[in-house]
Structure 1
Amino acid sequence: MARTTNVVNLDALIKRADLAEIGEASDDIPTLYINGLEPKGLLYPALRKPDFQRETAVWSPEQVSDLIATFLRRELIPAVILWRSGKHVFVVDGAHRLSALIAWVHNDYGDGTISQDFFGSVLPEDQVKAARRTRDFVDGTIGSYLEHRDAIERPDRARPEVLERAQRFGWQNIEVQWIRGADHAKAEKSFFRINQGGTKIEPTEQRILLARTSATALASRAILRGGSGHNYWDKFSAATQRRIEELGREIFALMFNPNIEQPIRTLDLPMAGQGYGPHALPFVFDLVNIANKVQVADSSNKRVKEEDGFIDDLDGSETVKYLTEVRRLLWRFCSNNPSSLGLHPVLYFYSGSGVFQPAALLSFVVLMKEWETADYRNFVEVRSQFEEFLLANRNITEAIRKLGTGNRSRPRIIGLYRIIINQLREGKTSAEVANALRETKDYGFLIDASDEAPPMLALDGGSFSRETKGAAYIAEALPHAQKCPSCGGLMHRNGMQVGHRRHRRDGGSGRQDNAMMQHPFCNSTVHN
């Protein structure tokens, strides 16, 4: 089914700052008490994460609740590692642990006042849902921080277990270790060394952290958060900052709106699946690199190299350039821009069971980077047959996963699309193309795989699972989706325009009987 997320976004709860800020020597805090995390507590106002720190958005509601419960039971929690620089105290290790406790203290699991100020008042729906699940789980199993504070003032009204825990607040502490005698360079090395344990930094994530001032990293961050969150580009001019944020918001909307609801009961799915959760970062990173022809090691490669070749963007111009190119390509896919082919995401980029396939979309990005105007016209000429082929071999998009991911497999996927389009232009039918591919060594197994019914999860008692419900809807609804009268291709709500049956320059009126829904590309070229 379309990928769901169950992670709590606590990224707003500890602010970010430049690790290289010059600091002065001062006394360390040997221990940290829970009330020090209150808004006006001893330590909370000074806490910072390095500005390159990955998002604190990996734990599930159950993990957040378990950390809070573990602390309250006085069980062992690994020490938090801190480093002081001037007025700031940087969290080198333990950001998730501290953020979970801060979330409890502030009643902000990604949807509270701090998060709204940080991300903007319009939060991703998945983020809000995860926050509510976490709050309900914590309040139901442990009790809120406010309930524990109230228990001290009104013990006669408190639950016994809450009162017992609240009475320990004054002396129950979080263990702290300090990095001493280190400048910012040594502190940064400590961060990367320490964070290879526990929840390790993934290769793509580490590549972005190491190249955090490059246009690729900055553009990826801007897209992933829709221009909100931490201002990684704050060293650029005000006008450049605004442009980066505007482009980030626009691209995020192009890729991830509308939001996916489960089970799927509509064909109005976003172009690129869900934009919330750790899976989104590697995909956006690859998209930015491919769109801008940045030559880096394959993100699926487990070996991360510091010498990937990223160049620092000193004034933000390269970041704006990268974002503009990503937007230009995505306009081509599914938008209301005149260049848009209005490709229906469910047909082109989702499996028959409703799972978004990044490899399918990224391969089309490479293909369209190579196309000239004539190639787009050639595609439109056989588009209805091409889509007929995809509908007849509905699971081929999912079967593409068998080719693998990354730079090594992408040429084979692109080659498959080229063969299908070229053979259709030669006059072959969808069935004839499938039979020809079935005889090839490179693609025969894909066609065979598409003939197989995908495994469907079933619930006890004969009930249909969420996955089965969504897959059944897609199978029934997709062949009957609205089609463009010009090219015969399926139309998606994000990629259609009202066009004239008889063009205005030919005397066509603006009456409803002269109006028709078209792909923007068809609308802009059919009369030219």
Structure 2
Amino acid sequence: MPNVNLDALISREDFEVIETNSRASSFNQNVSVKDLERGEFFYAGLRKPDFQRETSDWGDDQLCEFIQSFIDGDLIPAVILWNSGPYNFVIDGAHRLGALIAWINDDYGDGKISQHFFNNEIDEEQRDIANKTREKIKNTVRPYSDYKKATADPDNRDRDMLEKALSLGRTSIQLQWVSGGADKAEQSFFKINQKASKISDTEIELLQSRRKAFAIASRAIIRAGVGHQYWSKFEPAVMQEVESISKEIHGLIFQPKISGAIRTLDLPLVKKHNSPQTNSFIFDLVKKCNGVPKNTSKVSEDPDGKLTVQYLKNVRKFLRRINSSHPSSLGLHPLVYFYNKRGNHIYSTILAWVDIVNDIEKNPQTIRSFIMIRKDLERFLFNYKHFISGINAKYGSGTKSHKHVYKATSLIINLLQRKEPENEIVEQVLGEYGFLNKIDDVKITSARFSTDVKSQIYIQETLPKTSTCTYCKGFIHQNSISFDHIVRKQEGGMGSVENGALMHPYCNTSAKN
């Protein structure tokens, strides 16, 4: 189950706004529930730094437990703020404040504040976790509105509820203030969050590179071009292009949406779209598709957005090529190429295929050679899924193993092009990667079918029987279906069922010609 998305509840703002000479000692030292109601002065001026990662690390249980602790008057760590002009920036404590704001304003990622933030484009997964959280709040700590009603009509409320409601009037969270300028505040943010919130190296790089093209492109893709506009300083036409391409890329990666055990073959490239691991993958994918050097500290910022747009176009070109309805699409079935045997996606395989696609695109002959062995390649990858999964497990996910996945997959492709038999290919892969086993022997200790086992059963039973391309005989995915005339239109072929066939877009528009 994904985490609760609280990202909309505290707006973002650039640190570099008008600074004030006000002394921290003159600021509020506590924040009450009343201060966090929508429309109140304190809440209106509350901001997160523009480089702050998304506020979506808490699950529904954690959010409910925190609110319960607040109502019970338990000790809660102070929230650290920094003042700049009209705004109070949250340096540490965004999840704590966000959880209270969510409860107070009945917005767990799908309310009025979130609707406005996401331009009324909230996906089903986010709505589902919001509704589940709201229901859990109703059955445990009770909605904030119930406490308000208790004070408005005390004669018709139970004593315990009224006492808790009245105690909220004197319950608050302590505030601490960082003094100094924007540089000092930014340094404080990274110092605090690196220690307390365990920000990964990728997240730190993403935050520190926030004005560079690859970081802006990554953030735009993650949120499908909505939410906080990290690209707001670009010209309107550029902003529109960033948002439009990002939305398309988001769909190419995460559509169609699925959840639970696998009961369909029409899987997206990536199932989870709201997790730190997925965000890191998007960041790595943008850099990979654009040849961004490993050391990004010397990469220049993007002043006008032109480079950001180009980076997005390069990512879109790759994604269109591997699985889309675009004429260039090879229609690589995600379940064959990018998932393990139990229906869990493997990020490193997608990154590896950036290099593989570059290899097979070198000239018409290399891509034709790939098309001709595609049927055998897909059967091999399906029958020996534990090879790629084992390599990924050995070296780590994402960029840690994608070079090894690329090497192994390229070896299999080359051996198939040389018409080597399956047993010889298996032996060569095992010779290259001695830690792999020829047979995937996983022991099951329970009589019940787990979700993963159910998924594996479905995949094993259905994938070999699914539709294939009339030209290359590779599996067809719903995102990459093209309808071909068996007898061409220019040769008198009619648009009848009998004259129709399924093909991958590239096979239909280029390969067969």
Instruction: Give the TM-score band, short-chain normalised.
Output: over 0.9
Task: Give the 5 Å matches for 1:95-174.
Answer: 95-174=94-173
CA 455–86 in structure 1, closer or farther in 2 if over 3 Å, else same: farther
Kindly provide the amino acid, as one letter, of the partner of residue 148 in structure 1. Y
CA 408–72 in structure 1, closer or farther in 2 if over 3 Å, else same: closer
Residue 282 of structure 1 is matched in structure 2 by 280
SS in structure 2 of the partner of residue 91 of structure 1:
strand
Deviations 1:441-469 (A, max 9, x none): x2243353xx22445584xxx43222221
Q: Distance in 2 between matches of 1:527 and 1:353?
A: 34
Residue 339 of structure 1 is matched in structure 2 by 328
Residue 300 of structure 1 is matched in structure 2 by none
Q: Distance in 1 between matches of 2:127 and 2:63?
A: 15
Q: Distance in 1 between matches of 2:344 and 2:199?
A: 25
Kindly provide the amino acid, as one letter, of the partner of residue 399 in structure 1. G
Is 1:255 the counterpart of 2:253? The answer is: yes
SS in structure 1 of the partner of residue 195 of structure 2:
coil
Residue 351 of structure 1 is matched in structure 2 by 340
Residue 49 of structure 1 is matched in structure 2 by 48
Residue 505 of structure 1 is matched in structure 2 by 490
Q: Distance in 1 between matches of 2:133 and 2:421?
A: 53
SS in structure 1 of the partner of residue 127 of structure 2:
helix
Residue 67 of structure 2 is matched in structure 1 by 68
Q: Distance in 1 between matches of 2:144 and 2:253?
A: 38
Residue 408 of structure 1 and its aligned partner are, at CA, apart by: 5.7
SS in structure 1 of the partner of residue 194 of structure 2:
coil
Residue 359 of structure 2 is matched in structure 1 by 370
Q: Distance in 1 between matches of 2:445 and 2:342?
A: 11
Residue 303 of structure 1 is matched in structure 2 by none
Q: Distance in 2 between matches of 1:457 and 1:85?
A: 59
Q: Distance in 1 between matches of 2:49 and 2:400?
A: 34
Kindly provide the amino acid, as one letter, of the partner of residue 435 in structure 2. F
**Normalising by the residue count of structure 2, what TM-score does the alignment of the two structures yield?**
0.95
Kindly provide the amino acid, as one letter, of the partner of residue 119 in structure 1. F
CA 337–454 in structure 1, closer or farther in 2 if over 3 Å, else same: farther
Q: Distance in 1 between matches of 2:5 and 2:379?
A: 41
SS in structure 2 of the partner of residue 207 of structure 1:
helix
Task: Give the 5 Å matches for 1:30-429.
Answer: 30-180=29-179, 182-297=180-295, 308-371=297-360, 372=362, 373-401=364-392, 402-405=394-397, 407=399, 409-429=401-421
SS in structure 2 of the partner of residue 82 of structure 1:
strand
Deviations 1:413-437 (A, max 9, x none): 2221122111111222333311332
Q: Distance in 2 between matches of 1:161 and 1:474?
A: 53
Query: Cα RMSD between the aligned structures?
Result: 1.6
Residue 16 of structure 1 is matched in structure 2 by 12
Deviations 1:369-422 (A, max 9, x none): 233232221110000011111122132332231233455643332221122111
Identity of aligned residues (%): 39
Q: Distance in 2 between matches of 1:446 and 1:311?
A: 43
Kindly provide the amino acid, as one letter, of the partner of residue 126 in structure 2. Q
Kindly provide the amino acid, as one letter, of the partner of residue 261 in structure 2. P
CA contact (8 A) 2:203 2:280 kept: yes
Is 1:517 the counterpart of 2:507? The answer is: no
CA 525–66 in structure 1, closer or farther in 2 if over 3 Å, else same: same
CA 178–213 in structure 1, closer or farther in 2 if over 3 Å, else same: same
CA contact (8 A) 1:111 1:131 kept: yes
Residue 199 of structure 1 and its aligned partner are, at CA, apart by: 1.5
Deviations 1:245-301 (A, max 9, x none): 00100000000001122121101110123212222111001100110011115xxxx
Q: Structure 1: any 5+ residue segments left out of the alignment?
A: 298-306
Q: Distance in 2 between matches of 1:67 and 1:456?
A: 38
Q: Which moved more, 1:158-167 or 1:212-221?
A: 158-167
Deviations 1:33-58 (A, max 9, x none): 11110112241011001111110000
CA contact (8 A) 1:495 1:520 kept: yes
CA 273–365 in structure 1, closer or farther in 2 if over 3 Å, else same: farther
Residue 3 of structure 2 is matched in structure 1 by 7
Residue 445 of structure 1 is matched in structure 2 by 435
Q: Which moved more, 1:212-221 or 1:115-124?
A: 115-124
SS in structure 1 of the partner of residue 8 of structure 2:
coil
CA 43–400 in structure 1, closer or farther in 2 if over 3 Å, else same: same
Kindly provide the amino acid, as one letter, of the partner of residue 443 in structure 1. Y
CA contact (8 A) 1:47 1:89 kept: yes
**Normalising by the residue count of structure 1, what TM-score does the alignment of the two structures yield?**
0.93
